[in-house]
């Protein structure tokens, strides 16, 4: 599959909303991962898929069916829109709406939750660059930011996330 650019993601989400609307429904998503970094923070040009938490509709077979239609129309794999991130999210925070069109509303979590996800994943240079970019959006002190991140850390990943956060903070601000 070709990488999803911001433009391709917007086109696909618009089509997804149109399909939901044609079925007398609407879809509401919480977008996380690489696409939110491309869509809202211009931190990268593209991503492989859209990682979402589906808030509406409750019927997973409905939104998966609609996403399958969109994917088939574009020659993409069925999991171009997936909710695998739900296993990594601790709590849900609601940030601003980042996209809306007929039949669809897309929000992102608060920046602190996005940063917590990146700190817990910490897999590669992409996660590090994303975390670095997110940290630039938070003008508070070390203690204030860390306090907002902690509730969203995955159990068992807290210490690794704190070390990662410490490294980022020192890189940007010096010692805390």
**pLDDT, tens digit (0-9, with 9 covering 90-100), for 67-119:** 999 999 999 998 999 999 999 999 999 999 999 999 999 999 999 999 999 99
pTM strictly above 0.85: yes
Indicate the pLDDT class of residue 2, thresholds 50, 70 and 90: low
**pLDDT, tens digit (0-9, with 9 covering 90-100), for 10-69:** 999 999 999 999 999 999 999 998 889 988 888 888 888 999 999 999 999 999 999 999
| Residue 1: predicted pLDDT | 53
Long-range contacts of 17-21 (CB under 8 A, 24+ apart): 17/101, 17/102, 17/103, 17/104, 18/101, 18/102, 18/103, 19/66, 19/69, 19/70, 19/103, 20/57, 20/62, 20/63, 20/66, 20/103, 20/104, 21/102, 21/103
**176 pLDDT more than 80:** no
Tokens 């990146």 sit on residue = 118
How would you class 158 by CB atoms within 10 Å of its CB: exposed for 0-12, middle for 13-18, buried for 19 or more? middle
């Amino acid at each position: 599959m070709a990488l999803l650019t911001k433009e391709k993601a917007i086109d696909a989400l618009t089509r997804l909303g149109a399909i939901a609307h044609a079925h007398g429904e609407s879809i509401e998503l919480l977008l996380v991962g690489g696409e939110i970094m491309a869509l809202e923070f211009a931190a990268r040009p593209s991503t492989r898929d859209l990682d979402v938490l589906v808030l509406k509709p409750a019927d997973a077979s409905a939104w998966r069916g609609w996403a399958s239609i969109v994917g088939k129309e574009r020659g993409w794999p069925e999991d171009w829109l997936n909710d695998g991130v739900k296993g990594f999210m601790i709590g849900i925070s609601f940030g601003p709406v980042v996209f809306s069109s007929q039949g669809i509303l897309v929000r992102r979590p608060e920046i602190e939750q996005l940063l917590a996800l990146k700190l817990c994943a910490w897999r590669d240079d992409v996660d590090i660059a994303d975390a670095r970019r997110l940290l630039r959006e938070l003008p508070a002190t070390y203690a204030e930011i860390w306090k907002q991140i902690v509730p969203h850390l995955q159990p068992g990943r807290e210490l690794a996330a704190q070390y990662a956060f410490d490294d980022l903070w020192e890189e940007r601000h010096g010692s805390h």
